[in-house]
Chains A and B, each alone.
Chain A
């Protein structure tokens, strides 16, 4: 009996049950039925063990994209794994931004261990990371893998939303009409999130050439798209138009006069009685979503400055105006508002407020300067507000603001030896710290317990090393 016999004659008997199926063929393998069955079992088992594993009929072709970025040096691989193990999202974001600005990518072998990080920040980490994230999704849903500077008019629809917005915004600066034409072409195939983000890029270089397109999307199905279109049209026509949202706001703003010798306008926002205190911020945001600053000015026939002065006693109305000012990049006005209401930043963060309209680095820095004034007064905001700030600012704060933050009582109180707490605040402050102030913050952190400062210091060390590599 050879291996083929064992497979064709003995194996079926063993699989189906020797008691019922035992045939003559088994009996030759031993002196009794029992011995024969056991010997058959051993021989068949051995025969199977010598069968080589079947070679699959076909293998998938995996085409890893060519990635021009540098792989992060070996010396940083383990520190990065340690840093990202149970770190805050601010730390991860800060690292991703550093990878992007210095054109680094994670080591391919670390991708499985950094899976969460890579999924969240694939756009910042290069084309290999984008490939890694998309490797398990069906081929028809796979987008292209691009660096931001590789996108062009021919392939811009294949990049990720973030890269596309970045591309369109840059193009808008150089060729506003060309950018709008590209957007018009891709518009029917875009989902609501994409439409909101992409439409926002028209704010830069807005002109009457854009009007027909913006008018054509006034009746978009997505309310947020309609709101942006409305704002863009208002900016183009310089008229309040017939805006029901504005009428609803005006209905809630009480106007009066005060002063004995010189009468001054006073505006107060009356909240509906059923809006509870913790719902105030949300209500204000929703109420003013479809309204522009210009429309509010027109409704009260006041300049923007006068509006702020008239609302100075009403924090809620100031907050509403701050939202509008921030959205419309009126940072001078935002600056005036935060002089009166320095907790605006905290209220925005409680709201988890995200700007509809993309801002560039310069605008982000200007907004940060208008929102945060540590030299005057820094509210004792909780950690999530700092985290919101890092997310909104998309990187470190300008050095002059950060220097004041590091000198503020709010921060220095955190450095007292008896202060207990987690490492989250330290991590986000380190993430917000620009390179030139890392030495200062390191010195400050010396006083802290190791478990509070370790992640922050690791982040600073890694960022320093990444930035030092030529």
Chain B
């Protein structure tokens, strides 16, 4: 099997118990209809404890999966077992066309595999009968006009609500500045929660999330740095509010950045179908993964990609996925080091980073070859960050690929520094201290990190000991 190896299954499994449970299902006797189809799909039905068998689908290209069982582990043992049988190659999968329930899942996924499937569906043989049968539904112009008007009215109402919310935000910011920001950290939790709630009511969820995350961000810093961080963070909020009010005067890309930060979203469908969006094809390497629980009880999976080809367009991209914490999934579908051929479509931005997979030409597979990170030192990478910050002043995480760096210790903290200069020293996140300690033994490495203005999250380091991965 090209896409999924036993190592990958092991990495995907939420815990050891799932692997053990899956192993018990790795026997064809408990399965029916084990099949493989186009678009690198495999599926089958597994008789579980319920009256009807569970339907399990796995996409080999990107390790996507779906099972109808009620397990709260992701992937469940049935999905793992199906992958396992495929990876071992001891069980025969019959070639078949995807049944309706598989196609339904594909349609809803809308990823590379799904796109392939859609494409296959598209060119059908011409025939008069089918042309008659395929006659599109007639659209009632009046109801369409009513729907458009309703959408426009809702949009205007939301714009008004957001503007009112931004006024409230300004008032709140003024109150904080009047009271003095030296003591803001002391009451940040309660204070931010109340204004975040107001912004949720004002339909500005992006700002609300930013405010909800703000206390933790400040508390994560040394006490002496908290007042300054409060000034920085609250200052950015006012800047965003002002930018939103003046969005008509901004470039389309920056305007898109501002609206996204405030909480406007662009649907995947809209992004994938829009012609003007930036699409970049190439060989992408996974250089970092982040899994974090947000204050809104969603787990955010970030997959950071690095394009191996040096060509025009973004070199870095991030795929974002959100899963409810209650779902229990703690790891995303990709692993650091994997390589894939894919076309990514980027959300519009002055510094395009966030992307979707439009089409995956080859599945993500583990790759031991070093990632070709840029031959620039940490200082140069930091200067790139400063340029990005000038373009997007409310920037949060910025990716940095660099070479010739090392980890050094000062007191309790570790810093990423250039191997041969002290021009810049970026503190590592406190929760990475233990994991990165072994890197102090390495004189020089190339790596990929995320810098949030206060601390660095090292995602990957390539050393003479091999690859270090911060997962």
User: Do B438 and A111 touch (CB < 8 A)?
Assistant: yes
Interface with A: B232-240, B258-266, B344-352, which one? B232-240
User: Do A38 and B228 touch (CB < 8 A)?
Assistant: no
User: Do A45 and B424 touch (CB < 8 A)?
Assistant: no
User: Do A38 and B173 touch (CB < 8 A)?
Assistant: yes
- Per the 8 Å Cβ criterion, residues 1-58 of B in contact with A are 7, 10, 16, 20, 23-24
Residues of A contacting B434 with CB < 8 Å? 112, 115
Residue of B nearest to A115 (CB): B434
Q: How far is the CA of A14 from the CA of B177 in the complex (A)?
A: 6
The 5 closest A-B pairs by CB, nearest first: A45-B235, A17-B180, A56-B410, A19-B178, A59-B408
B441, CB-defined interface residue at 8 Å = yes
Can you spell out 28 A-B residue pairs with CB atoms less than 8 angstroms apart?
A15-B180, A15-B181, A15-B182, A17-B178, A18-B177, A18-B178, A20-B180, A38-B174, A38-B177, A38-B238, A40-B177, A45-B232, A46-B232, A46-B393, A48-B235, A49-B236, A49-B389, A49-B453, A74-B466, A78-B7, A109-B438, A112-B435, A112-B437, A449-B24, A450-B23, A450-B24, A451-B20, A454-B20
B10, B182, B425: the one contacting A16 at CB < 8 Å is B182
User: Do B23 and A42 touch (CB < 8 A)?
Assistant: no
In the assembled complex, the CB of A313 is this many whole angstroms from the nearest CB of chain B, namely 50
User: Do B410 and A58 touch (CB < 8 A)?
Assistant: yes
- Per the 8 Å Cβ criterion, residues 258-294 of A in contact with B are none
A383, CB-defined interface residue at 8 Å = no
A34, CB-defined interface residue at 8 Å = yes
A64, CB-defined interface residue at 8 Å = yes
A24, CB-defined interface residue at 8 Å = no
User: Do B438 and A60 touch (CB < 8 A)?
Assistant: no
Residues of A contacting B411 with CB < 8 Å? 56, 60
Residue of A nearest to B466 (CB): A74
Q: How far is the CA of A74 from the CA of B179 in the complex (A)?
A: 57
Name the interface size band of chain B.
35 or more
User: Do B441 and A108 touch (CB < 8 A)?
Assistant: yes
Q: How far is the CA of A74 from the CA of B178 in the complex (A)?
A: 58
With contacts A17-B179, A71-B465 known, is A41 near B235, CB below 8 A?
Answer: yes
In the assembled complex, the CB of A129 is this many whole angstroms from the nearest CB of chain B, namely 11
B16, B409, B425: the one contacting A55 at CB < 8 Å is B425
User: Do B16 and A43 touch (CB < 8 A)?
Assistant: no
B93, CB-defined interface residue at 8 Å = no
Q: How far is the CA of A18 from the CA of B181 in the complex (A)?
A: 9
A135, CB-defined interface residue at 8 Å = yes
A→B interface (CB under 8 Å)? 11, 14-20, 34, 37-46, 48-50, 52-53, 55-60, 62, 64, 71, 74, 78, 82, 85-86, 107-109, 111-112, 115, 132, 135, 449-451, 454
In the assembled complex, the CB of A17 is this many whole angstroms from the nearest CB of chain B, namely 3
Residue of A nearest to B425 (CB): A55
Residues of A contacting B389 with CB < 8 Å? 49-50
Residue of B nearest to A85 (CB): B16
User: Do B236 and A37 touch (CB < 8 A)?
Assistant: no
In the assembled complex, the CB of B119 is this many whole angstroms from the nearest CB of chain A, namely 37
Residue of A nearest to B436 (CB): A112
User: Do B231 and A60 touch (CB < 8 A)?
Assistant: no
User: Do A450 and B20 touch (CB < 8 A)?
Assistant: yes
Residue of A nearest to B241 (CB): A38
A11, A15, A38, A59: the one contacting B410 at CB < 8 Å is A59
Residue of B nearest to A65 (CB): B441
A53, A57, A82: the one contacting B427 at CB < 8 Å is A53
In the assembled complex, the CB of A458 is this many whole angstroms from the nearest CB of chain B, namely 11
Residue of B nearest to A49 (CB): B232
Residue of A nearest to B389 (CB): A49
The contact string, 1 if C-beta is below 8 Å from chain A, for chain B 206-240, is: 00000000000000000000011001111110110
Q: How far is the CA of A46 from the CA of B441 in the complex (A)?
A: 37
With contacts A15-B181, A53-B424 known, is A135 near B235, CB below 8 A?
Answer: no
Q: How far is the CA of A9 from the CA of B447 in the complex (A)?
A: 40
Residues of A contacting B7 with CB < 8 Å? 78
User: Do A37 and B178 touch (CB < 8 A)?
Assistant: yes
Residues of A contacting B425 with CB < 8 Å? 53, 55-56
Q: How far is the CA of A11 from the CA of B230 in the complex (A)?
A: 11
In the assembled complex, the CB of B463 is this many whole angstroms from the nearest CB of chain A, namely 8
User: Do B228 and A46 touch (CB < 8 A)?
Assistant: no
Residues of A contacting B180 with CB < 8 Å? 14-18, 20
User: Do B242 and A107 touch (CB < 8 A)?
Assistant: no
Q: How far is the CA of A455 from the CA of B393 in the complex (A)?
A: 52
Q: How far is the CA of A57 from the CA of B413 in the complex (A)?
A: 13
Q: How far is the CA of A107 from the CA of B464 in the complex (A)?
A: 12
- Per the 8 Å Cβ criterion, residues 412-444 of B in contact with A are 413, 415, 417, 422-427, 434-435, 437-441
Instruction: Determine chain B's interface SS by DSSP, over half rule.
Output: helix
Starting from the known contacts A107-B465, A109-B439, 18 additional A-B residue pairs (CB-CB under 8 Å) come to A15-B231, A18-B177, A39-B238, A41-B234, A41-B238, A42-B236, A42-B238, A45-B236, A45-B239, A48-B231, A49-B393, A55-B423, A62-B440, A82-B10, A108-B438, A109-B465, A111-B437, A115-B434
Q: How far is the CA of A14 from the CA of B228 in the complex (A)?
A: 10
B468, CB-defined interface residue at 8 Å = yes
B168, CB-defined interface residue at 8 Å = no
User: Do B239 and A46 touch (CB < 8 A)?
Assistant: yes
In the assembled complex, the CB of A351 is this many whole angstroms from the nearest CB of chain B, namely 34
Q: How far is the CA of A78 from the CA of B10 in the complex (A)?
A: 10
B377, CB-defined interface residue at 8 Å = no
Q: How far is the CA of A19 from the CA of B177 in the complex (A)?
A: 8
With contacts A19-B179, A45-B239 known, is A11 near B16, CB below 8 A?
Answer: no
Q: How far is the CA of A336 from the CA of B418 in the complex (A)?
A: 70
Residues of A contacting B437 with CB < 8 Å? 111-112, 135
Residue of B nearest to A57 (CB): B410
Residues of B contacting A49 with CB < 8 Å? 232, 236, 389, 393, 453
Residues of B contacting A50 with CB < 8 Å? 386, 389
User: Do A52 and B382 touch (CB < 8 A)?
Assistant: yes
Q: How far is the CA of A55 from the CA of B177 in the complex (A)?
A: 30
B359, CB-defined interface residue at 8 Å = no
With contacts A43-B235, A59-B415 known, is A86 near B435, CB below 8 A?
Answer: no
Q: How far is the CA of A58 from the CA of B441 in the complex (A)?
A: 18
Q: How far is the CA of A85 from the CA of B20 in the complex (A)?
A: 14
Residue of B nearest to A15 (CB): B182
In the assembled complex, the CB of A230 is this many whole angstroms from the nearest CB of chain B, namely 47
Q: How far is the CA of A107 from the CA of B23 in the complex (A)?
A: 28
User: Do A60 and B410 touch (CB < 8 A)?
Assistant: yes
B308, CB-defined interface residue at 8 Å = no
B174, B227, B235: the one contacting A46 at CB < 8 Å is B235
Q: Which of A45, A71, A74, A108 has the most CB of B within 10 A?
A: A45
Q: Which of B20, B233, B438 has the most CB of A within 10 A?
A: B438
Residue of B nearest to A86 (CB): B16
Residues of B contacting A454 with CB < 8 Å? 20, 23
Q: How far is the CA of A109 from the CA of B410 in the complex (A)?
A: 20
Q: How far is the CA of A46 from the CA of B238 in the complex (A)?
A: 11
Residues of A contacting B409 with CB < 8 Å? 59-60, 62
Q: How far is the CA of A356 from the CA of B234 in the complex (A)?
A: 66
Q: How far is the CA of A454 from the CA of B409 in the complex (A)?
A: 40
Residues of A contacting B466 with CB < 8 Å? 74, 107, 109
In the assembled complex, the CB of B271 is this many whole angstroms from the nearest CB of chain A, namely 29
In the assembled complex, the CB of B408 is this many whole angstroms from the nearest CB of chain A, namely 4
User: Do B440 and A44 touch (CB < 8 A)?
Assistant: no
Q: Which of A19, A40, A59 has the most CB of B within 10 A?
A: A59
- Per the 8 Å Cβ criterion, residues 367-398 of B in contact with A are 382, 386, 389, 393
Q: How far is the CA of A59 from the CA of B413 in the complex (A)?
A: 10
Q: Which of B182, B231, B435 has the most CB of A within 10 A?
A: B231
Q: How far is the CA of A17 from the CA of B16 in the complex (A)?
A: 54
With contacts A45-B233, A45-B234, A59-B408 known, is A38 near B170, CB below 8 A?
Answer: yes
